[in-house]
Amino acid sequence: MGWFPGRSRNAASLAVLLPALAACIPQGAAPDPDATRYRPRQTPPDRPVDTPPAYGQDDAPPRADASVAAVPAPPPAWQARPVRADAKAIDPTIYVVRSGDTLRAVADRTGAGSEAIARANGLSAPFMIRAGQRLAIPGGRYHLVRSGETGIAIARAYGIDWSRIVTANGLSEPYTLRAGMRVLIPDATPGLSSAAERAAAFRLDVDDLVTGSAPALAGNQRPAPPTRSPRRVLAPTEAISEPTRLRGVFGWPAQGRIVARFGPSGASGERFNGIKIALPIGTPILAAADGVVAYAGSEVPTLGGLVIIKHGDGWTTVYGHASRLLVQRGQAVKRGQTIALSGDTGLADRPELHFEMRKGRTPIDPIGQLPRS
């Protein structure tokens, strides 16, 4: 994953920008007046002495873009619930199924993940096994998932790209983790010797947030229903129910001149995963369809103020470079609702909106999904 440092803002620029933003906030969209009494983010409790640092050797978590205004919200789950890198290494072996065994019981006895065992033996749901059956147990390092842990926190603890963990474990939409799962941890990235170095090198990208930001559910726990207001703050480690089906069709998130298009761009031919729309600072950014906010923050330095919405049927939309975020994680939104105000945060070349659409993990050209007029 590439990383680019965010641009700094000086005090003079902020003094000019903030009054203009305040004038552009749609009626009823302003944050809770109690925001001035919101307590700053708290440092997570001290970790056990044998726990690798979650963000590098005694470093603070990567700072969000300070130029992005947002409604009061707790730290994201991967900061509030850091992961202890205590994966157990097991050797490949053969297990003979005992009477009364379930696949989960075999996983508990061997230390491997039940999903990995199922894949290695060609088992499919409902994963029936019989006494005397010989099961190949795949070796490797397995991390036991605890309640509230996220894929991002797991990846950061081991200094492994979350996308590699997704691939190694065959995870698919909706990428739900549950307490008690054992996920296979691929080998460490070459060239980084310690867990602290690997954790410090970890940087978020959109794919991480789409597939690895949801906290793990405990046991038979059900996800919490979405909130209707940004004033209702949900716990960062609380899993949120997401839409299963897409309702209606997609609409444009803003009207403006398209200054970058989907696909290969520039002399390098590097693929661009969305479109960019030039907009005056403070222009309302609209939800493209009904959905639930999966992320609202500014921890991806290239994109600055960022909102990600899940819509069901595997669809996700991404809105970047915002100057002000008007929603928070877990909030239900309607098509056409103002979710943010445009800006030039992150590495924007001008005041603009970065807009992506994804089906599962695959970026889709928004032009083919949006109305022609």
pLDDT given at position 105:
95
Query: Is the peptide bond preceding residue 371 cis, with omega within 30 degrees of 0?
Result: no
How far from 178 is each of 48, 50, 146, 181, CA to CA, in Å? 23, 24, 8, 6
**Cβ proximity of 14 and 67 under 8 Å:** yes
Residues present in the chain in total? 373
Kindly give the confidence (pLDDT) of every residue in the chain, 373 residues in length, as a single tens digit, with 9 standing for 90 and above.
333 333 333 434 434 333 443 344 333 333 333 332 223 333 333 333 233 333 333 333 445 688 899 999 899 999 999 999 999 999 999 999 999 999 999 999 999 999 999 999 999 988 999 999 999 999 999 999 999 999 999 999 998 889 999 999 988 888 889 999 999 999 876 665 566 666 666 688 999 999 999 999 887 788 999 999 888 888 999 999 999 999 999 999 999 999 999 998 766 667 889 999 999 999 999 999 999 999 999 999 999 999 999 999 999 999 999 999 999 999 999 999 999 999 999 999 999 999 999 999 999 999 999 998 6
CA dihedral (180, 184, 189, 195) positive or negative: positive
How far apart, in whole angstroms, are the C-alpha atoms of residue 221 and residue 219?
5
pLDDT given at position 201:
65
First to last CA, the chain: 36
How far apart, in whole angstroms, are the C-alpha atoms of residue 130 and residue 101?
8
Q: What's the predicted TM-score (pTM) here? A: 0.78
- The token duo for 257 is 């001149």
Query: What 3 state SS string does the chain have?
Result: CCCCCCCCCCHHHHHHHHHHHHHHCCCCCCCCHHHHHCCCCCCCCCCCCCCCCCCCCCCCCCCCCCCCEECCCCCCHHHHCCCCCCCEEECCEEEECCCCCCHHHHHHHHCCCHHHHHHHCCCCCCCCCCCCCEEEECCEEEEECCCCCCHHHHHHHHCCCHHHHHHHCCCCCCCCCECCCEEEECCCCCCCCCHHHHHHHCCCCHHHHHHHCCCCECCCCCCECCECCCCCCCCCCCCECCCCCCCCCCCCCCCCEEEECCEEECCCCEEECEEEEECCCCCEEECCCCEEEEEEECCCCCCCEEEEEEEECCEEEEEEEEEEECCCCCEEECCCCEEEEEECCCCCCCCEEEEEEEECCEEECHHHCCCCC
**Burial classification of residue 211, based on how many CB atoms lie within 10 Å of its CB (0-12 exposed, 13-18 middle, 19 or more buried):** buried
pLDDT given at position 334:
97
Query: Is the peptide bond preceding residue 366 cis, with omega within 30 degrees of 0?
Result: no
